[in-house]
Amino acid sequence: MMKVRLRFFASLREALGPGEEVDLEAGSSLGQLRDRLIARGGIHAQVLARGRAVRCALNQVMVDESSPVPDGAEVAFFPPVTGG
């Protein structure tokens, strides 16, 4: 097991809070981490649901959900951002 720091932004932060630390199996991908959070049910399942657009960053770099999560990583989840 490894420790991973989660951070949530914008509407996800409003629903889930600023973040938390979780234990994750070594070799897990971002997609597997998201699925694990969805499996908690409740608000996690609602805001991180597979039908919702959610972006991911790993150690402050935008990545897709196939990316492996290293021990001690910071994973950020946030909705797509539009500018104006």
pLDDT at 1 over 70: yes
Domains of the chain by start residue, with CATH: 2-78 (3.10.20.30)
Report yes or no: 77 and 10 within 8 Å, Cβ to Cβ.
Answer: no
What confidence score (pLDDT) does residue 80 get?
Answer: 86
Contact partners, residue 67, CB within 8 Å, separation at least 6: 29, 30, 56, 58
Distance CA 47, CA 13 (A): 10
User: Which residue reads 């935008």 in tokens?
Assistant: 62
Q: How confident is the model at residue 83 (pLDDT cuts 50, 70, 90)?
A: low
- Per-residue pLDDT reduced to its tens digit, 33-82: 999 999 999 999 999 999 999 999 999 999 999 999 999 999 999 998 75
pLDDT at 28 over 90: yes
